[in-house]
A and B are shown apart, each in its own frame.
Chain A
Amino acid sequence: MDNNYNRRSFIKVTALSGGGMLLGFNWFVNRTQRQMNAAGTPADSDWTEFNGYISISSDNVIRIMAPNPEFGQNVKTSLPMIVAEELDADWGTVEVEQASFDTSLYVRQFAGGSQSVRTTWKPLRNAGASARYLLRQAAANAWNVPFEEVSTNSGKLIHEKSGKSASYGEFATAAASLTVPKDVPLKSPADFRIIRQSQKNVDGHKIVTGKPMFGMDYTEPGMLIAMIEHPPAFGLKLKSWDGSRARRMPGIKDVFTISLFPEGYERESFDTRTFNELVVVVGNTTWEVMNARKKLQVEWEPVKEKKETVNAFGNKREETIPAGLESSERHLEIMQEMAGKPARQLRKDGDPEKAFAEAARILERTYTAPFLAHNTMEPMNCFARVTDTEALFVAPLQAPEFAERSLSKRLGIPVDKIDIRMTRMGGGFGRRAYGHYLIEAALISQKIKSAVKLVYSREDDMTYGIYRPAYTATYRAALDANNNLTAFHVKGGGFPEHPVAANRFPAGAVDNYLAEGWEMPSNITIGAFRAPRSNFIACAEQSFLDELAELMGKDPIDLRLELLQRAKDRPIGTSNDYDADRYAGVLKLVREKSGWGNSTANGLHRGVAAYFCHNSYAAHVIDMRMRDGQPYVEQVFSAVDCGIVVNPDAASNMVEGAVVDGIGNALYGELRIRDGAPQQRNFNTYKMIRMHEVPKKVEAHFVRNDIDPTGLGEPPFPPVFGAVANALYKTTGKRFYKQPFSAGFETEQGGK
């Protein structure tokens, strides 16, 4: 979308309470703290809507729509900040509202891939700048002065020569009747007043007072509660069921089955068919449905191998879903077997075979990591009211566009009859990009002809799949007699996808380079998990580089900088996907901020790692020590280059969270499979990082530049794992190759 967006210039008389809507309007509106304490809502005032993003009331309340789903990345604050900047609004008088899903008004309404700020940066700035332009024009017309002489300052229109001034609200109606010019100039970053200033979370007050805002909190009179019973293991399906006892339990309305997709359905990228047939219990309340589920009599049987067609954005491919009950132990054995075999070539530079044959020294190491469950604090859930002809959903979800398409196909309802309202999400991490729970809720609502909220228990959520895949990678490096790195080889594999990004560093920095990947079909369903693939391969690669630097007798940061210099001066190949200068930039910044090379005090041991993914660069130095016989991360220094930082304190929060998430998953994260069944079902068996295991300090530093924002939710996460592994080596004298690393601590101590 550019300046020629779908401009809708009409006057809307809207009572803020929005009577008559299915959804109470205020449910999605948020005022800043200052406004909460001030006069309050300008009820019944006239609102002028400039475009999908901005409405201004006659008494000068500016409402900005937050277009993208919010799951903790703070876009509900940062995206409206971008609009307000170009609008030159007074941020303190802005109220923010979560937009509904509407492709006619907004660009990609998607939470994932660290894309929200990156993809909306220009459209949001254009929206703000265009509205400001119209307001200035309206004032110029009314005051009969040249357009250029009308300036703005924090929500005020000013004509200095005549001393005239007015609020935006006074000219909102007049401005909306004007035409938006083609190219409205945008501010120079040097003139930013809102962007680059820390602004508090617009939902902060609601969060700390427990206001309803999550999908789980949504309710309507007469709404029923539904829960699903899925097979206890991957590789099993429904054989027979008897719901008669469950149906007789108090508060229960019905027990039946649903089938997600018919045979032959072409799955799209975010469609999943983990367990196609599910038993459903519907009742009045969650507790009654939970109790009734215990009375279900269900038999399961093994699945047969099947072929499915996947339609990934037009590219069709056949996928084999194998039969059998898989286990993590067997996966590890297969990984070991595959480490010694050639795999599919992904990239080759020079003659790596020859270089390895002629090497004076070769370093070879293999790394593994298990399945991970996303474990969003809010389990999957979805409100649905679906008839044969139209559908309403209120749900926490990351990818409404993909969900809507799948819903339309499955239900036979055109997309314009499907209304999706996005609630705040209690975490996402990739998990809520997969909209199966909307389809489940829709089928249940259709069947029982009622509004219904589908609720997953924690156990349902954790054992349903959509996991981070189980991965392995084997790295080899060849050194000649003069200690030069002559060849580099990575071979990665996994269930059911490999983790290798073939064009990523150190590709481009080594003359002879080989990248390979293998993939093993599995009936355990996987999905995007914060920085997919990178969240494993960064750890393997950065651990390997650390060990390689040691073998070469070099400082680990120096080795990386030498390789990056090589990639900049004389790059090998043309498709390297990183910018060597920005990559080196975060290493240099973290070196400076951590005082790298100086002796560390009090028995602290340091590890470093850096990585590039999702268009941004991050590096961490982790200081670790032994505490009560266990390695403990005491403090972390982080350096990030994500271009312009929109909301600095919130960005620091994101980096701190990524560091904690990375430490937790590196040390403890594991979803083990035995006989097809997940061995962790709740937080009493799935170890999550907790308060006492968190560093005392995380210092987040950002490279200052004027590059358009390149994304932040994911990039700081992957290199944490590598920095943990490298600090562990310095702390314990032992290299850790197998995640979760804490399993290795326990063995050292004689087992637990």
Chain B
Amino acid sequence: MAKFNLKVNGESRQVDVDPSTPVLWVLREHLNLTGTKYGCGVASCGACTIHLEGMPVRSCQLPVSTVKQQEITTIEGLSASGDHPVQEAWIEHDVAQCGYCQAGQIMSAAALLKNNPNPSEEDIEAFMTGNICRCGTYLRIKQAIVAASQK
């Protein structure tokens, strides 16, 4: 066990965990931020996507010991009250079915638009291909990203 000082959603948080613990489980079970989801544990589904210094990463493959002072943003910290353009577009297009993958989808989409504010359809497909939606809401995800990019 070791103590780590993390910057999460703009706040300083301290956790005492095994250094190998993935950020996913630190968020979910030590910081009570359960919006970030466990789906596969092998970075193949994207449900655990967070932002590290603004870049999308799969938190299930990110040992807490490697984070250091890098800023972590989770779905809970993406906006103050759910009013990020991507979140609003998600509601506008009523994207979700079961909803389990959507936090990861939204974090990927927000990262895409930050780096590429006007993505082509191909850009969206290429960027979002790491996020699985078992319910098959991909069409609406794509529509919502296009809508958010126009705001």
Chain A contacts to B: CB under 8 angstroms: 33, 71-74, 198, 200-201, 203-205, 207-214, 216-217, 219, 225, 250, 285-288, 291, 375-379, 424-429, 457-458, 649-650, 653-654, 656-661, 664, 682-684, 688-692, 694-698
- Nearest Cβ distance between residue B13 and chain A, in whole angstroms? 16
A selection of 8 A-B contacts at a CB cut-off of 8 Å is: A200-B94, A216-B37, A287-B22, A458-B45, A653-B97, A654-B97, A683-B39, A691-B129
The one of B21, B75, B76, B79 in contact with A287, judged by C-beta atoms closer than 8 angstroms, is B21
Q: Is the CB of A691 within 8 A of B142?
A: yes
Q: Does B141 contact A (CB under 8 A)?
A: yes
**CA separation between A692 and B99, bound complex, in Å?**
20
Q: Is the CB of B99 within 8 A of A424?
A: yes
- The interface residues of chain A lying within 8 Å CB-to-CB of B3 are none
**CA separation between A219 and B33, bound complex, in Å?**
11
- The interface residues of chain A lying within 8 Å CB-to-CB of B125 are 691-692
The one of B33, B76, B99 in contact with A203, judged by C-beta atoms closer than 8 angstroms, is B99
Q: Is the CB of A688 within 8 A of B132?
A: yes
Q: Is the CB of A211 within 8 A of B35?
A: yes
- The interface residues of chain B lying within 8 Å CB-to-CB of A458 are 39-42, 45
Q: Is the CB of A683 within 8 A of B132?
A: yes
CB-CB nearest in chain B for A74: B97
B120-146 vs A, CB cutoff 8 Å, 1 = contact: the mask equals: 010011101111111111111110000
**CA separation between A446 and B137, bound complex, in Å?**
40
Contacts A211-B35, A377-B101 given: A691-B138 contact, CB under 8 Å? yes
**CA separation between A186 and B126, bound complex, in Å?**
51
Q: Is the CB of A204 within 8 A of B21?
A: no
**CA separation between A443 and B129, bound complex, in Å?**
40
Interface residues of chain B: helix, strand, loop or mixed (majority)? loop
**CA separation between A664 and B20, bound complex, in Å?**
35
Q: Is the CB of A204 within 8 A of B76?
A: no
- The interface residues of chain A lying within 8 Å CB-to-CB of B139 are 656, 660, 694-695, 697-698
- The interface residues of chain A lying within 8 Å CB-to-CB of B82 are 205, 208-209
CB-CB nearest in chain A for B125: A692
Q: Is the CB of B97 within 8 A of A208?
A: no
Q: Is the CB of A73 within 8 A of B97?
A: yes
Q: Is the CB of A72 within 8 A of B141?
A: no
Q: Is the CB of A683 within 8 A of B21?
A: no
Q: Is the CB of B138 within 8 A of A72?
A: no
Interface size on B, residues (CB 8 A): 63
Q: Is the CB of B90 within 8 A of A208?
A: yes
CB-CB nearest in chain A for B76: A210
**CA separation between A266 and B57, bound complex, in Å?**
48
Contacts A287-B18, A377-B98, A695-B139 given: A684-B42 contact, CB under 8 Å? yes
- The interface residues of chain A lying within 8 Å CB-to-CB of B118 are none
Q: Is the CB of B98 within 8 A of A691?
A: no
**CA separation between A692 and B142, bound complex, in Å?**
10
Q: A285-B29, A377-B100 are in contact. List 10 more A-B contacts (CB 8 A).
A: A72-B98, A200-B94, A203-B96, A208-B90, A208-B106, A213-B99, A287-B25, A377-B39, A427-B134, A428-B98
- The interface residues of chain B lying within 8 Å CB-to-CB of A216 are 34, 37-38
The one of B22, B78, B98, B124 in contact with A427, judged by C-beta atoms closer than 8 angstroms, is B98
**CA separation between A706 and B18, bound complex, in Å?**
61
Q: Does B36 contact A (CB under 8 A)?
A: yes
Chain B contacts to A: CB under 8 angstroms: 1, 17-18, 20-22, 25, 28-30, 32-42, 44-45, 47, 74-76, 78-79, 81-82, 87, 90-91, 94, 96-103, 106, 121, 124-126, 128-142
Q: Is the CB of A217 within 8 A of B141?
A: no
Top 5 nearest A-B pairs by Cβ distance? A210-B35, A660-B136, A426-B100, A72-B98, A210-B75
**CA separation between A283 and B131, bound complex, in Å?**
30
The one of B81, B87, B128, B140 in contact with A653, judged by C-beta atoms closer than 8 angstroms, is B140
Contacts A209-B75, A209-B82, A377-B45 given: A661-B40 contact, CB under 8 Å? no
- The interface residues of chain A lying within 8 Å CB-to-CB of B138 are 660, 689-691, 694
CB-CB nearest in chain A for B90: A208
Q: Is the CB of B135 within 8 A of A205?
A: no
Q: Is the CB of B129 within 8 A of A692?
A: yes
Q: Is the CB of A208 within 8 A of B102?
A: yes
Q: Is the CB of B35 within 8 A of A457?
A: no
- Nearest Cβ distance between residue A736 and chain B, in whole angstroms? 21
The one of A657, A682, A690 in contact with B97, judged by C-beta atoms closer than 8 angstroms, is A657
- The interface residues of chain B lying within 8 Å CB-to-CB of A213 are 99
Q: Is the CB of B44 within 8 A of A207?
A: no
Q: Is the CB of B40 within 8 A of A71?
A: no
Q: Is the CB of B136 within 8 A of A424?
A: no
- Nearest Cβ distance between residue A534 and chain B, in whole angstroms? 18
Q: Among A213, A377, A698, find the residue whose CB has the most chain B CB atoms closer than 10 A.
A: A377
- The interface residues of chain B lying within 8 Å CB-to-CB of A291 are 18, 20
- Nearest Cβ distance between residue B125 and chain A, in whole angstroms? 4
Contacts A204-B94, A287-B18, A656-B139 given: A691-B131 contact, CB under 8 Å? yes
Q: Is the CB of A288 within 8 A of B35?
A: no
The one of B35, B44, B102 in contact with A682, judged by C-beta atoms closer than 8 angstroms, is B44
Q: Is the CB of B134 within 8 A of A201?
A: no
Q: Is the CB of A207 within 8 A of B96?
A: yes
**CA separation between A198 and B96, bound complex, in Å?**
14
Q: Is the CB of B91 within 8 A of A204?
A: yes
**CA separation between A287 and B62, bound complex, in Å?**
13
Q: Is the CB of B42 within 8 A of A208?
A: no
CB-CB nearest in chain A for B1: A250
- The interface residues of chain B lying within 8 Å CB-to-CB of A214 are 37, 99-100
CB-CB nearest in chain B for A658: B136
Q: Is the CB of A33 within 8 A of B91?
A: yes
- The interface residues of chain B lying within 8 Å CB-to-CB of A209 are 35, 75-76, 78-79, 81-82, 87
The one of A71, A208, A377, A425 in contact with B47, judged by C-beta atoms closer than 8 angstroms, is A377
- The interface residues of chain A lying within 8 Å CB-to-CB of B133 are 377
**CA separation between A682 and B38, bound complex, in Å?**
13
Q: Is the CB of A286 within 8 A of B76?
A: no
Q: Is the CB of B38 within 8 A of A379?
A: yes
- The interface residues of chain B lying within 8 Å CB-to-CB of A684 are 40, 42, 44
The one of A208, A212, A698 in contact with B91, judged by C-beta atoms closer than 8 angstroms, is A208
Q: Is the CB of B40 within 8 A of A682?
A: yes
**CA separation between A689 and B22, bound complex, in Å?**
27
Q: Is the CB of B40 within 8 A of A683?
A: yes
- The interface residues of chain B lying within 8 Å CB-to-CB of A657 are 97, 135-137
Q: Is the CB of A457 within 8 A of B96?
A: no
Contacts A653-B137, A691-B129, A691-B131 given: A457-B99 contact, CB under 8 Å? no
Contacts A209-B82, A692-B126 given: A661-B34 contact, CB under 8 Å? no
**CA separation between A596 and B100, bound complex, in Å?**
37
Q: Is the CB of B136 within 8 A of A656?
A: yes
- Nearest Cβ distance between residue B146 and chain A, in whole angstroms? 12
**CA separation between A698 and B75, bound complex, in Å?**
29
- The interface residues of chain A lying within 8 Å CB-to-CB of B142 are 691, 694
**CA separation between A670 and B49, bound complex, in Å?**
26
- The interface residues of chain B lying within 8 Å CB-to-CB of A210 are 33-36, 74-76, 103
Q: Among A71, A211, A683, A697, find the residue whose CB has the most chain B CB atoms closer than 10 A.
A: A683
Contacts A209-B76, A458-B41, A684-B44 given: A71-B98 contact, CB under 8 Å? yes
- Nearest Cβ distance between residue B112 and chain A, in whole angstroms? 11
- Nearest Cβ distance between residue B58 and chain A, in whole angstroms? 12
